[in-house]
Structure 1
Amino acid sequence: MSVSTETRIKWTSADLELLPENGNNYEIIDGELYMTRAPHWKHQTSIARITNALVSWSNQSKLGQTIINPGIIFSDDNNVIPDLIWISNKKLESCVDEAGHFTSAPELVVEILSQKPNDIKRDKETKLKLYSNRGVREYWIVDWQLKQVEIYRRYEGKLTLMITLLDDDSITSELLPNFSCQIRDFFL
């Protein structure tokens, strides 16, 4: 009688060093390797517009920093590159390694959805679970095609969908006192 066993390769931070530098982004979540190619230009435009709003607010408030595509190494088998984060100055002082990678969760993570179903599933399920387990306080999933933003906030120990904002809505956050922006300003 033959018994079939499936052996799964568990990727680690060391494995990332061996991958080619070819313009693709590589992430590891729970030991599984994910690769993404350069996204649609409207994806990139949404990142720029959200970044501008958060940087403007951060410059006025002096409470933290907005960072595009940071490397976050939660553990040897959980390395991600979110589209955008906001992190308080207080937290920033204690969670960066010598290479400039973050080693713990920022307060806010923003992911802009790509067009591929696997990428959408990763942002809405796999990364949501990872960010929730690692202590992210707020997670924005931005859909530039539908022109909407899903807001997940920490509730009873996990990130929970609180509201989906549409084109005519304004976005605010308890993390960002006095921050307010029209959702339509995030999109072309």
Structure 2
Amino acid sequence: MITSVDPPRITVHPYRFTYEKVLAMAEAGMLPEHEHVELIDGQLIPMTPVNRPHYKCVNRMTRRFVVATEAIDTAVTVSVQNPLHLDAHNVPEPDLTLLRGPDADATADAALLVVEVSDTTLAYDRDTKLPLYAEAELPEVWIVNLQARQVAVYREPKGPAYGLRRLVDAEDMLSIKTLPDAEPIAVSDILPPPDASDADS
């Protein structure tokens, strides 16, 4: 009697890049020169091109963060669209990060606040990047929803989620939990004008 033999099972594990490997590849010219990517779970994720409402919001926030933090005793670095090292396999590039210290390294331990500006990327920022920020125990994350013209504030990281979520409308004020002495920021001051479309970008 002939009996069938099941073929051996093969487990396939996708290769996960580290940030050091990505830097080495870039230095060797192995990455597209003009393609902007971020490292998420060991994978290189192409970043969506920035449109006019997005960069206007980032510029307005940068200006407001500088004003809000310059009068307090705590030294803060405002890092704009730079890599944030969460771990070896996760180095996202938030739109804005407030870092503790005048010349701080961009690591999870130094991050006081992370801000993502979302126009077409809301689902990605909320469902993919936000859990990484929570797991890295970043104390506070803002997701600026340009479509809804409101800010979702996340605090109290617990595993891959945040215990506190609060929606702040355009008429309200934002405060930074880790910098209680900083001047509050009006949401209307960081949102671009409603007519800031891509028509003249």
Structure 2 match to 1:80:
92
User: TM-score, with normalisation over the residues of structure 1?
Assistant: 0.82
| Percentage of identical aligned residues | 25
Gapped regions of structure 1 (runs ≥ 5): 97-101
The C-alpha deviation readout for 1:56-93, integer Å capped at 9, x for no partner, is 1111114212110121223321111111011222xx66
Structure 1 match to 2:133:
131
User: 1:8-87 to 2 correspondence within 5 Å?
Assistant: 8-13=14-19, 14-16=21-23, 17=26, 18-22=30-34, 24-63=35-74, 64-87=76-99
Structure 2 match to 1:152:
154
Specify the SS of the correspondent of 2:15. Answer: coil
The C-alpha deviation readout for 1:132-158, integer Å capped at 9, x for no partner, is 111211000001121110000125565
Specify the SS of the correspondent of 1:74. Answer: coil
Q: Structure 1 residues 174 and 73, CA, compared in 2 at 3 Å: closer, same or farther?
A: closer
Q: Structure 1 residues 132 and 147, CA, compared in 2 at 3 Å: closer, same or farther?
A: same
Structure 2 match to 1:99:
none
Measured after TM superposition, the shift of residue 121 of structure 1 is 2.5
Name the CA distance, whole Å, in 1 between partners of 2:93 and 2:158.
Answer: 26
User: TM-score, with normalisation over the residues of structure 2?
Assistant: 0.77
**Equivalent AA in structure 2 for residue 136 of structure 1:** L
Name the CA distance, whole Å, in 2 between partners of 1:145 and 1:161.
Answer: 22
Name the CA distance, whole Å, in 1 between partners of 2:80 and 2:164.
Answer: 23
The C-alpha deviation readout for 1:2-48, integer Å capped at 9, x for no partner, is 557554232222135231220x3211122122111321110111111
RMSD of Structure 2 on Structure 1 (CA): 2.2
**129, 150, 170: which is aligned to 2:173?**
170
**107, 112, 115: which is aligned to 2:112?**
107
Larger Rg: 2
Name the CA distance, whole Å, in 1 between partners of 2:135 and 2:125.
Answer: 14
Name the CA distance, whole Å, in 1 between partners of 2:173 and 2:62.
Answer: 16
Structure 1 match to 2:186:
182
Identify, as 1 or 2, the structure richer in strand: 1
2:95 and 2:117 in contact (8 A); partners too = yes
Once the two structures are overlaid, the 10-residue window that deviates more, 12-21 or 126-135, is: 12-21
